[in-house]
Amino acid sequence: MLTEAEMVVGVVAYLDPAMLDADPMVLAPASPTDGRRPFVCVGRAGKLSAWMALTSQAGPSRSHLPIPSAVRRRGRGVWCTGPSFANKVFATYIGPHASVLAAAAYEDDFAAEDRPGIDPAWVERELIPRSRERQSLNFSRWHKGCGAKQAPAMALPEAKVGKPLLTREQAAALQPPPTPPTPPVKEKAEVTPTAENWAEFIDAAPGGKGPGRR
């Protein structure tokens, strides 16, 4: 079964698109995909990943892109020998890893060394640019849509941010100066009156005077 560690650009997993379409935390393409089928990972950002559907039959549209057998990696059966094409509209599903793993729960039990895939260099050269042209590979769209439904602490997992408004030095200059520590107050030691110091106790009392004073 698919693991989070395997979810990198070029890896292929068999997903149930019906589960992805029904998941409110998944940004789905406008046209849903039918039936369980192979998907290729075309992007990853933190705890999010993007997946493009593949098909074994080319439709009438010329936008289907054949995947040469020379760029396919590992796998078995039809994946290695049969025809394979990228989604005709180069649309992607974008969602949290947990949603993708749930949609892959019923796929074949691939060992790590047997997991099918596509040469990442070919994916980045042929599939990713087409997805970006159609705005289907855009993680910021997920943050504005599905991500807004999550708790604030989870809304932007490892999202890229722009240039900060202030430099580190400017931000430090705006911080208030640290408050100096308050020195401890020394308590006056208690003195027991004796025959030698009794006059000091009388002088210290309100209105008191020591012996010999007027």
Q: Report percent pLDDT > 90 for the chain.
A: 19
Higher pLDDT, 20 or 150: 20
Q: Is the pLDDT of residue 213 over 80?
A: no
Confidence of residue 149 (pLDDT cuts 50, 70, 90): low
pLDDT at 151: 41
DSSP codes of every residue in 16-41:
-HHHHHH-TTSB--SSPPPSSEEEEE
Higher pLDDT, 44 or 182: 44
Residue 102, judged by CB atoms within 10 A of its CB (0-12, 13-18, 19+), counts as: middle
pLDDT at 212: 46
Q: Which CATH code for domain 4-154?
A: 2.30.30.110
The CA R_g of the chain, rounded to the nearest whole Å, is 35
Each residue of 134-145: pLDDT tens digit?
777 888 888 877
C-alpha–C-alpha distance, residues 211 and 170, integer Å: 68
Residues 76-99: b if buried by 16+ CB within 10 A, e if exposed:
eeebeeeebbbbbbbbbbbbbbeb
Each residue of 153-211: pLDDT tens digit?
343 344 344 444 555 666 666 666 777 777 776 666 666 666 666 566 666 555 555 45
- For the entire predicted model, the pTM comes to 0.64
| Triad 120, 121, 127: Cα angle to 5° | 80
Mean pLDDT rounded to a whole number for the chain: 75
